[in-house]
Chain A
Amino acid sequence: MKDLLDRIVNATVKGDETRAIALAHEAMAKDFDPFKVIQQGYARGMEIVGDLFARLEYFLPEVMLAADAMTAALEVLKPHLQDRENGGSSGTIVIATIQGDLHDLGKNIVKVMLEAAGFTVYDMGADVAVSALIAKAQEVEADIIAASAILTTTMAHMPDIAKILAELGIRDHFRIMLGGAPVIREWAFQAGADGYGEDAAEAVETARQLMVSTSIGAQP
């Protein structure tokens, strides 16, 4: 199994989607545990990609290729995960750039890194109204609502997420995670966030922590 896992790690790091899919089929044909294949193969590969990105030995396109390769392989593995515990997803996140804001590069980076970390991510794109974000989170029974802003004017819509969730009586159904160029930590928590990401790496770590956290609306 180790040889196969090494090849999966290698294919993921190289962003070789065709190879990543073929190896997923090979692993299932040999009746390997799909969860182990994900954790010790594809997810391990993405960890390496994340490290390379942190050192800027990899750039955003390479990270996206690797994430695409992993996502395609996960589609192969999904049917085999259904009857097992711990179906492979770290949690469900609805993510968007907030209302009025058309800039989505930062959000896209965070999305890719979250997917690489095993989260199921619903990307609503840019310029998304808070009401639409909440509706999607309800529809997919998300664990986390994540919002990004690059403009100080659009950032002002972010407090409405917690406010509207509270008005709807569903504040405790979701964790809120905020980030983006003008969003600083103190402001995010004042705006009702449960978590904050200074950058993509911190966003992933925050999302992981929020999945095991029991408190909602806690101050940092």
Chain B
Amino acid sequence: MIGFWEVIARSENGPLFKEKKFDMQLAAAARQLAEKYDIRYNSQKVVPDDDDLADRLYQAALDLFLEVGIYCRDTGRLIQFNREEVVQAVQNAPRTVTYGQGRDEAVMTSRRVEDPTPPFVVMTPVGTPVAEERFVAMVQSYAQEPLAQTFSSAFSQTINGRPIKAATPQETEAAIWNVIKLREAARAAGRPFIGIHNLVTNAERSDATLAAMQPAFGVLPNDGLGIAAISELKVDYERIKKVVFMRHSGHNKYGLYGPLLGGFAGGTETTAIVHVAHHFLGLLAYEAQWHCGFPLHLHHGCNSCRELLWLIAVTSQALSRNTHSPIAVSPFSAAGPCTDMVIYEMAAISIAASVSGANLLACAPARNRHPERATGMEARVCAEAGHVAAHQKISRREANTIVMDLLARYETTIADAPLGQCLAECYDLATLQPSQEYLDLYQSCRSKIGLNYSLL
């Protein structure tokens, strides 16, 4: 099996390639493979139940990866692999990942299509900006959720009153502050040893990130980081430096992939192929133990729209049928907290992902860009929909009916989705419980989702 340092050697010795040429060839190469393997998007079947389609998609993604490889930005070279190397990496990939300690220990595993085992749920506001004084409250609202098995961070807009600027001393200070506050929130939630799957989300540079990953700051040995691909099928040394550190430190690491539908990957089918190909990037360049996808619509900035639901379902099926790696999907909604739309969007994505064999990284409301607009309640919506779909043993065909019904409730308002309420408006910050308005709204919406919530 190819070793990590051989991959790095290839990044230093592989063929020189123009970045623009790499970008421009991607969609064309994927389009040829979409035709060869007959990958077709079906707008009426956003949760497809065609095993052969899922398997063809996987083969198309493997072919694409072998054809284009990975682009290393620091050296301007291609990192290329042969089929045997990729197949071996898939065969030798980890099957489980353990987070947390003691009673808070949780084990993420891979899931099968239509798996009756509920998805593993990691909860996070996905770096939503929040005022410094509400940071702990916001992240605690996730850590305290009963279905949360790990949690992660919001983004405090200041640290000790000072703005955080990338690549400055304040960035290092912020990264350390972030880690200390996350563990403080875990303790406040009564779950002192819950795992933190992504310790540092407020620092870009590896020096700041790694400075914060110390036991003295409350970091557990199996807390970890998410390592993202830069743009489509690209890596850089700033990210790989973090991988090197974690190979020695033993912290858990996962790959994060967010191809844009409409971007360099092209349309729905070709973006699906490119998205699955990132799985191989994660295994080979990052030694990722699990893989999280957040494919997004280039114009809408969410993945609750029709094309993305199909993409999420079919790529999850391709990976869960052909690999044993744990995978997860991160739902991004257009609407914000305490709206019926965010409940329907989150439920739709979670059901499509859960029934297709994915775990959940919940979640990013309001397109993940509006300060204070993220709470544990949206993560609860995601987690409960995913759990019930599994407990109820719904088929993909049944899931499609439910998701299509949910889609009809919000699809026409995606472009002008309501921003909803801020944390301070829809939670009582003293008790850190959702407002009665939000609870009532969720209860009312649950009756329209088409799942049997008594099975929770």
List residues of A whose CB falls within 8 A of some B CB.
53-54, 56, 59-61, 64-65, 99-105, 109, 151-154, 156-157, 181-184, 199
| Contact A61:B166 (CB < 8 A) given known A102-B238, A153-B203, A184-B370 | no
Q: Compute how far the CA of A134 lies from the CA of B141 in the bound complex, rounded to whole angstroms.
A: 42
Query: Contact string, B64-83, partner A, CB cutoff 8 A, digits 1/0?
Result: 00000000010000000000
Residues of A within 8 A of B260 (CB): 60, 105
Which residue of A has the minimal Cβ distance to B25? A61
Which residue of B has the minimal Cβ distance to A56? B262
Complex contact B370–A156 (CB within 8 A): no
| Contact A59:B267 (CB < 8 A) given known A100-B166, A103-B231, A156-B164 | yes
Instruction: Give which listed residue, A61, A65, A102, A105, contacts B266 with CB less than 8 A.
Output: A61
Q: Compute how far the CA of A182 lies from the CA of B155 in the bound complex, rounded to whole angstroms.
A: 11
Complex contact A154–B24 (CB within 8 A): no
Residues of A within 8 A of B265 (CB): 59
Q: Within 8 Å of chain A (Cβ to Cβ): is B230?
A: yes
Q: How far is the CB of A202 from chain B (nearest CB, A)?
A: 11
Which residue of B has the minimal Cβ distance to A60? B263
Which residue of A has the minimal Cβ distance to B263? A60
Complex contact B262–A152 (CB within 8 A): no
List residues of B whose CB falls within 8 A of some A CB.
20, 23-24, 26-28, 73, 127, 129, 155, 157, 163-167, 171, 174, 202-205, 230-231, 236, 238, 260-267, 298-299, 301, 368-371
Complex contact B262–A60 (CB within 8 A): yes
Most buried by B among A59, A102, A181: A59
| Contact A156:B165 (CB < 8 A) given known A103-B231, A105-B263 | yes
Which residue of B has the minimal Cβ distance to A182? B369
Which residue of A has the minimal Cβ distance to B166? A100
Instruction: Give which listed residue, B26, B28, B202, B369, contacts A181 with CB less than 8 A.
Output: B369
Q: Compute how far the CA of A153 lies from the CA of B201 in the bound complex, rounded to whole angstroms.
A: 9
Complex contact A182–B262 (CB within 8 A): no
Which residue of A has the minimal Cβ distance to B168? A100
Report the 3 A-B pairs with minimum CB-CB distance, sorted nearest first.
Answer: A100-B166, A100-B167, A153-B166
Question: Apart from A100-B167, A100-B171, A156-B164, what are 7 other A-B pairs with CB-CB below 8 Å?
Answer: A60-B262, A60-B298, A100-B204, A151-B166, A153-B171, A154-B204, A157-B166
Q: How far is the CB of B289 from chain A (nearest CB, A)?
A: 24
Instruction: Give which listed residue, A59, A60, A99, contacts B166 with CB less than 8 A.
Output: A99
Residues of B within 8 A of A153 (CB): 164-166, 171, 174, 202-204
Complex contact A151–B204 (CB within 8 A): yes
Instruction: Give which listed residue, B24, B26, B155, B263, contacts A152 with CB less than 8 A.
Output: B155
Q: Compute how far the CA of A191 lies from the CA of B171 in the bound complex, rounded to whole angstroms.
A: 19
Q: How far is the CB of A160 from chain B (nearest CB, A)?
A: 8
Complex contact A60–B238 (CB within 8 A): no
Complex contact B166–A56 (CB within 8 A): no
Complex contact A56–B267 (CB within 8 A): yes
Complex contact A61–B28 (CB within 8 A): yes
Complex contact B27–A100 (CB within 8 A): no
Complex contact A100–B369 (CB within 8 A): no
Complex contact B24–A102 (CB within 8 A): no
Q: Compute how far the CA of A7 lies from the CA of B157 in the bound complex, rounded to whole angstroms.
A: 52
Q: How far is the CB of B304 from chain A (nearest CB, A)?
A: 16
Residues of B within 8 A of A102 (CB): 73, 204, 230, 236, 238
Q: Compute how far the CA of A184 lies from the CA of B157 in the bound complex, rounded to whole angstroms.
A: 14
Q: Compute how far the CA of A105 lies from the CA of B157 in the bound complex, rounded to whole angstroms.
A: 24
Q: How far is the CB of B266 from chain A (nearest CB, A)?
A: 5
Which residue of B has the minimal Cβ distance to A157? B165
Instruction: Give which listed residue, B174, B202, B299, contacts A54 with CB less than 8 A.
Output: B299
Q: How far is the CB of B21 from chain A (nearest CB, A)?
A: 11
Complex contact B204–A101 (CB within 8 A): yes
Complex contact A103–B230 (CB within 8 A): yes
Most buried by B among A54, A105, A183: A105
| Contact A59:B205 (CB < 8 A) given known A99-B166, A105-B263 | no
Q: How far is the CB of A203 from chain B (nearest CB, A)?
A: 13
Q: Compute how far the CA of A99 lies from the CA of B230 in the bound complex, rounded to whole angstroms.
A: 16
Q: How far is the CB of A10 from chain B (nearest CB, A)?
A: 21
Residues of B within 8 A of A181 (CB): 301, 368-369
Which residue of B has the minimal Cβ distance to A59? B266
Which residue of A has the minimal Cβ distance to B264? A60
Q: How far is the CB of B338 from chain A (nearest CB, A)?
A: 19
Q: How far is the CB of B239 from chain A (nearest CB, A)?
A: 9
Q: How far is the CB of A55 from chain B (nearest CB, A)?
A: 9
Complex contact B261–A56 (CB within 8 A): yes
Q: Compute how far the CA of A65 lies from the CA of B23 in the bound complex, rounded to whole angstroms.
A: 12
Q: Compute how far the CA of A199 lies from the CA of B367 in the bound complex, rounded to whole angstroms.
A: 13
| Contact A99:B231 (CB < 8 A) given known A56-B298, A105-B260, A153-B174 | no
Q: Compute how far the CA of A182 lies from the CA of B166 in the bound complex, rounded to whole angstroms.
A: 14
| Contact A61:B205 (CB < 8 A) given known A56-B261, A102-B230 | no
Complex contact B264–A61 (CB within 8 A): yes
Q: Compute how far the CA of A150 lies from the CA of B202 in the bound complex, rounded to whole angstroms.
A: 12
Q: How far is the CB of A126 from chain B (nearest CB, A)?
A: 9
Residues of A within 8 A of B267 (CB): 56, 59
Residues of B within 8 A of A183 (CB): 369
Which residue of B has the minimal Cβ distance to A151? B204
Q: Compute how far the CA of A157 lies from the CA of B204 in the bound complex, rounded to whole angstroms.
A: 13
Q: Compute how far the CA of A172 lies from the CA of B238 in the bound complex, rounded to whole angstroms.
A: 37
Q: Compute how far the CA of A137 lies from the CA of B232 in the bound complex, rounded to whole angstroms.
A: 30
Q: How far is the CB of A102 from chain B (nearest CB, A)?
A: 6
